[in-house]
Each structure stands twice: as C-alpha cells, then as structure tokens.
Structure 1
Amino acid sequence: MQLNLINEATKTFRHGIHPGDYKELTSHMPIERMPFMDEIVLPLSQHLGSPSRPTIKAGDKVYRGQLIGE
C-alpha cells in the first residue's frame, strides 16, 4: 500500500489535500447490512437555523418514515 497524499487524477481545486481512499483495504470484503439500533439519539438542532420542534415525546416508539420534528 502506497501512501500518496496528493492524487493528481482527482484534484478538484488547487492546493487542497486529497488523501487516498484506501479501498484496497476492504474491497475484497462482502457488503454487510447493519442492524437497527434499539435507541437512536437525533438532535433536532443541526445547523445555525432555528431548531425543529419535536412532534413526539422522549421515550415514544418511532417508526421508519415517521415525522419527529417540524
């Protein structure tokens, strides 16, 4: 494995650092499906704008695709 910090073929802007993706480390491994977590913490304030208002209460069971904040 060669450590090449600047890859000329993928330069998108000048003077940036472009580390290699090292795909050879895992390219021979099968893709795996990750199990669902029993509990997920999801912050409703994720950017500089105003935070979302929760539409559910802490501890509620939430289903995939369900609206949790507005």
Structure 2
Amino acid sequence: MGLLNFFSKGTFSHGVHPPTNKEITSAKKIRRLPFADHLVLPLNQHIGKPAKAIVRKGQEVVRGE
C-alpha cells in the first residue's frame, strides 16, 4: 500500500486534531519578549526574483532602520 493509497482510503477524512492543552497557559499573561541582540535574515527564501541586500554584510543596523 503506497502513501497515496493510504490517504485516498478516507483514513483522515476530518483531519488531525491533536489536544490543544490550552489549560497550561490559559491563566498566564501575554508579555513581549526583548529584541534579539543579533538577527540573521536569509535572503534566499523563495523561488522568485532574488532579494537584493541594501546593507553590507556585518553592517550594524538599529531597530526600525
């Protein structure tokens, strides 16, 4: 039995619904995390037109810039 046959038999007719476990965090407040000291942002994330960096490698950039 191949993988495609497995799904065509209707085994997952309503999807997968794992337990949400919301009781673990339902009473906790939402809080903001501090900004990271360093951020690495890959520029090759999709198959479209290549991204062009507007800063030099290693250049220091401040938040919001």
The interval holding the TM-score normalised by the smaller chain is: 0.5 to 0.7
TM-aligned CA deviation for residue 24 of structure 1:
1.1
Q: For this pair of structures, how many residues does the alignment match?
A: 53
Q: Which residue matches 1:61? A: 60
Q: Please give the TM-score of this superposition, normalised by the length of structure 2.
A: 0.63
Q: Please give the TM-score of this superposition, normalised by the length of structure 1.
A: 0.60
TM-aligned CA deviation for residue 41 of structure 1:
0.6
Q: Which residue matches 2:41? A: 42
Gaps of 5+ in 1: 1-13
**Is the aligned partner of 1:32 residue 2:31?**
yes
**Which has the higher Rg, Structure 1 or Structure 2?**
2
Gaps of 5+ in 2: 1-12
Q: Give SS of 1:24's match.
A: helix
Percentage identity across paired residues of the two chains: 47
Q: Which residue matches 2:22? A: 23
TM-aligned CA deviation for residue 51 of structure 1:
2.5
For residues 43 and 19 of structure 1, do their structure 2 counterparts lie closer, same or farther at Cα, with a shift above 3 Å needed? Answer: same
Give 2:43's aligned amino acid: L
> How large is the Cα RMSD of the aligned pairs?
1.8
